[in-house]
Chains A and B, each alone.
Chain A
Amino acid sequence: MPKPAKKPVGAQPENPARLIIDGAVVENQWSLLPLDEEAEITAADLAPGRVILPLSTWLELRDQLQARKGEIGVWLDSDETADLIGEYASELPLIAAHFPLFTDGRAFTAGRLLRSRYGFTGELRAVGSFMRDQLTYLTRCGFNAFAYQGEQTLEGLLDSLQDFTDSYQSSVDQPLPIYRRRSLAG
């Protein structure tokens, strides 16, 4: 697996205390390690409990963290593609995808590929600056957890999960495009 090139550290995702998972507001059970290119992190440095690592840190420590497999998640920055996790996705309990800006739509593709190509069945969490109005698209791309970092109450966002109740294309939540569900008879 190729190692991603070093890059300047941009906006870091926040890790709010509460979030939406599977349509309910719950306490956040995970800590999130921000990306720090300077720090030399070893497996021993990591806090106990569930922790979400930057991709580069996870790639480095993965083999040493085998024993903690169920409590180590990974977050992808927007310029990191799903294939950098690849088949390992099926072994991970949680993957987060970062929106440095809500207009940066690369995480939609990352989510979709993690689910449909790399067999990821764990928690797929949106982190960063995504907005409420993107919740249905995120859901359709396989996200089931939303660590929203805006000011609004999370309960107020739940309605937006229902903005659309049908779709034209195939996606993670609807494997068949509309032309395979419609009656096409004349």
Chain B
Amino acid sequence: MYQYDEQDHKLIRERVAQFRGQTERYLAGELSEEQFLPLRLQNGLYIQRLAPMLRIAVPYGLLNSTQVRRLAHITRKYDKGYAHFTTRQNVQLNWPNLEDVPDILAELAEVEMHAVQTSGNCIRNTTTDQFAGVARDELVDPRPYCELIRQWSTFHPEFAFLPRKFKIAVCGAAEDRAAIRAHDIGVQIVRNDHGETGFQVFVGGGLGRTPIIGVAIRDFLPEVHLLSYLEAIVRVYNQLGRRDNKFKARIKILVKALGAEEFARRVEAEWEQIKDGADELPREAIEWSKRFFPQPAYKSVNGSHAEAVLRDQAGSDKAFSRWLERNTFPHRVPGYQAVTLSTKPTGIPPGDVTDRQLEAIADLADEFSFGEVRVTHEQNVVLADVEQERLYELWQAARKHGFATPNIGTLTDMICCPGGDYCSLANAKSIPVAEAIQRKFDDLDYLYDLGDLHLNISGCMNACGHHHIGHIGILGVDKKGEEFYQIQLGGSANEKASLGTVLGPSFSRDEMPDTIGKILDVFVENRQPEELFIDTYHRIGLQPFKERVYAKAS
């Protein structure tokens, strides 16, 4: 993974010193709440319902075991001994003291971490595929480009006070596991007819109050122009994006108002002026970035032998077989497999891990996966490079630490925002709904029979739980001071991205598990062999679900 040089270290140290001074001025009354707000946000610090929340950046989801151990230490020393993985591959602490935050940032800086631009109206952490570098369907490893984007966007002097937050995601594979069409800019790595690497560029995607799927404004951008093109997009947005209403300030609103063609024309006109300038990305810079993401020292393994051993183990142990089926992912190198550690056993808020679990993750990474860990946008943790011969051993260890719930990609592997239990924006709690659904559908055979099914829950229309792009999306709403839940069906985040459609009137929390049950019944009764929930939905439409769910009791 990327390693800081003296310049990176210096910049992050200077940032910590700057924020220490700002915090002191705020505590001394020299900075008003209003002035301190954007400064603390750009250092990851929110003031939440119950306490401050600190969002720590995990650039494109990649951590080493040293960093994970440092996070464990920080949760113990400054917080309540647990942390939360977010849908943007970051880590959140829910209970730090404001006065301690500069010290926390200094401790993070020692292990090449920070909380820069994890909030505020600036360019946020760039995200990507959790299986980058190992997926079989990958065209080009996206991480070297993500790192170049990280450097370009960090402390960008022109773009620190944009109309609104700005999120970039990069995908290098055939299947879009980074939800790039739900981002302000989505970058898809492609090859042209001459075999040259470049990018298809999407803009204006986003969730929130006005969910929109991003549109492609360029089908092939040569890689040398990556940063100048991003700069042109953000410059057009900085000048023209609305600043009079924060709910209309995202780039998606500008793209919609101008029309994608006109927006693209303006970007191209701006880009023409800068594309041959200093921001041109020379071949050496790309090669330099690639050297930080080398292929690990894989053993030469007899792939078919390893597969055979695995089949034997799976054949004699049902529980292992289930885990193998759901929680591992094919690897492009024979004899290896990627493993997802589930943070979603029933009864734990999705994405929450304790300090001990963080240390266990670090140990497992050192023992089984070259000391590297990835955070997924589904809030789980990936060990990307595990020998197939050691999967059984890893499974047993993961089970001991509570990471082996074999539910990845199933109904109970849900994305869920912190909701009304923590967040001051939320209309409704989301964690208890997630838990009630997990409790009702705890029969693994049933879950597997349902197959891949994404259920996403947001506690308000800001959509941090990505409910619009869940196959089943749940949105918490407030009705005269009471918490209700609206259901949407048919959303999808991948390369066939689509937004869900509202089923009908909302439900009380108690009604939710049974209502989800009725929706699943309609699917099971109507599906054709091999059909997933989303396929059946697309074939039969909303109506049959609606009829069942709202049928009058006879």
Task: Verify if B53 is at the interface (C-beta below 8 Å from A).
Answer: no
Task: Verify if B161 is at the interface (C-beta below 8 Å from A).
Answer: yes
Task: Verify if B422 is at the interface (C-beta below 8 Å from A).
Answer: no
A: which residues have CB within 8 A of B?
Answer: 81, 102-106, 108-109, 112, 117, 131, 133-134, 136-138, 140-141, 152, 163-171, 175-180, 182, 184, 186
Task: Verify if B39 is at the interface (C-beta below 8 Å from A).
Answer: yes
Q: Which residues of B contact A184 (CB under 8 A)?
A: 284-285, 287-288
Q: Find out whether the CB atom of A136 lies under 8 angstroms from the CB atom of B285.
A: no
Task: Verify if B320 is at the interface (C-beta below 8 Å from A).
Answer: no
Name the CB-closest residue of B to A152.
Answer: B30
In the assembled complex, the CB of B165 is this many whole angstroms from the nearest CB of chain A, namely: 13
Name the CB-closest residue of A to B287.
Answer: A184
Render B158-192 as a binary contact track against A, CB cut-off 8 A, 1 for contact: 11111000000000000000000000000000000
Please measure, in the bound complex, the distance between the C-alpha atom of A102 and the C-alpha atom of B160, giving whole angstroms. Answer: 11
Name the CB-closest residue of B to A117.
Answer: B273
Q: Which residues of A contact B5 (CB under 8 A)?
A: 182
Q: Find out whether the CB atom of B157 lies under 8 angstroms from the CB atom of A108.
A: yes
Q: Which residues of B contact A170 (CB under 8 A)?
A: 277-279
Q: Chain B: interface secondary structure?
A: helix
Q: Find out whether the CB atom of A106 lies under 8 angstroms from the CB atom of B157.
A: no
Q: Tally B residues with Cβ within 8 Å of A.
A: 42
B: which residues have CB within 8 A of A?
Answer: 5, 7, 10-11, 14-15, 17-18, 22, 30, 35, 38-39, 121, 148, 151-152, 154-162, 227, 235, 238-239, 243, 273, 277-279, 281-282, 284-285, 287-288, 291
Please measure, in the bound complex, the distance between the C-alpha atom of A105 and the C-alpha atom of B166, giving whole angstroms. Answer: 14
* Besides A182-B7, A186-B288, 16 new A-B residue pairs in contact (Cβ under 8 A), listed by A number: A81-B239, A102-B38, A103-B121, A105-B162, A108-B238, A112-B157, A134-B160, A152-B30, A163-B18, A164-B15, A171-B158, A177-B227, A179-B151, A179-B285, A184-B285, A184-B287
Name the CB-closest residue of B to A140.
Answer: B157
Q: Which residues of A contact B10 (CB under 8 A)?
A: 165-166
Can you give 11 contacting A-B residue pairs, CB < 8 Å? A81-B239, A104-B243, A105-B160, A105-B161, A140-B157, A141-B158, A164-B155, A170-B277, A171-B157, A177-B227, A184-B287
Q: Which residues of A contact B235 (CB under 8 A)?
A: 109
Q: Which residues of A contact B151 (CB under 8 A)?
A: 168-169, 178-179
Name the CB-closest residue of B to A133.
Answer: B39
In the assembled complex, the CB of B266 is this many whole angstroms from the nearest CB of chain A, namely: 12
In the assembled complex, the CB of B525 is this many whole angstroms from the nearest CB of chain A, namely: 54
Q: Which residues of A contact B17 (CB under 8 A)?
A: 163
In the assembled complex, the CB of A136 is this many whole angstroms from the nearest CB of chain B, namely: 7
